[in-house]
């Protein structure tokens, strides 16, 4: 006896179309529903180390210097930003308001060699740059010759 798989083609095709329509509907409205919702983003961060300093570069275009908060507590450097924006458009037939909110927060534990008292921050062209100098005693010393007595 041979078993033959039976696939109800019309029902199967109908389910595929139904799922496709559902996905299309959800995809269409996802952007509308979430476009003005609260957004948390994670900006790209470069960390460079040289003999004399650490340098953090945070890509955060569209923000202003005033949107940032930078705190240092117990060797933990916290960088956060939030932006609130409200757009309003009025017409005789309708009123539309749009709110947008974006925020991020990143924390870094600084090494013991970091000179926490001399940290400098600068925001320019969408990039927040923090320069964290190393303590003098942590910097490499040039080789020296030791005289034999």
H/E stretch holding 20 reads: helix 9-34
Q: What is the pLDDT of residues 1-35, one digit of tens each?
A: 555 555 555 555 555 555 555 565 555 545 444 44
pLDDT, tens digit (0-9, with 9 covering 90-100), for 91-135? 666 666 667 778 899 999 999 999 999 999 999 999 999 999 999
Predicted local confidence at residue 73, as pLDDT: 94
Neighbours of 128 (CB within 10 A): 22
pLDDT tens digits for range 62-87? 889 999 999 999 999 999 999 887 76
CB neighbours (10 Å) of residue 97?
Answer: 10
Chain mean pLDDT for the chain: 79
The CATH code that applies to domain 42-81+104-138 is: 2.60.40.790
Domain boundaries, the chain: 42-81+104-138
Q: 148 pLDDT exceeds 60?
A: yes
Region of 103 (left: φ > 0; alpha: ψ -120 to 50; beta: rest) is beta
Beta bridge partners of 131: 55, 120
């Amino acid at each position: 006896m041979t078993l033959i798989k039976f696939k109800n083609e019309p029902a199967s095709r109908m389910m595929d179309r139904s799922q496709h329509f559902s996905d299309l509907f959800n995809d269409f409205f996802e952007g509308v529903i979430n476009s003005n919702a609260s957004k948390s983003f994670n900006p790209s961060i470069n960390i460079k180390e040289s003999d004399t300093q650490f340098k953090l570069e945070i890509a955060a275009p569209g923000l202003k210097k005033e949107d940032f908060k930078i705190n240092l507590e117990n060797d933990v450097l916290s960088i956060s930003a939030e932006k609130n924006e409200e757009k309003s458009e009025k017409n005789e037939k309708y009123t539309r308001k749009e709110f947008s909110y974006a925020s991020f927060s990143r924390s870094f534990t600084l090494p013991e060699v970091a000179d926490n008292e001399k940290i400098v921050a600068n925001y320019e062209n969408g990039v927040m740059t923090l320069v964290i100098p190393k303590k003098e005693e942590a910097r490499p010393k040039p080789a020296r010759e030791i005289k034999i007595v």
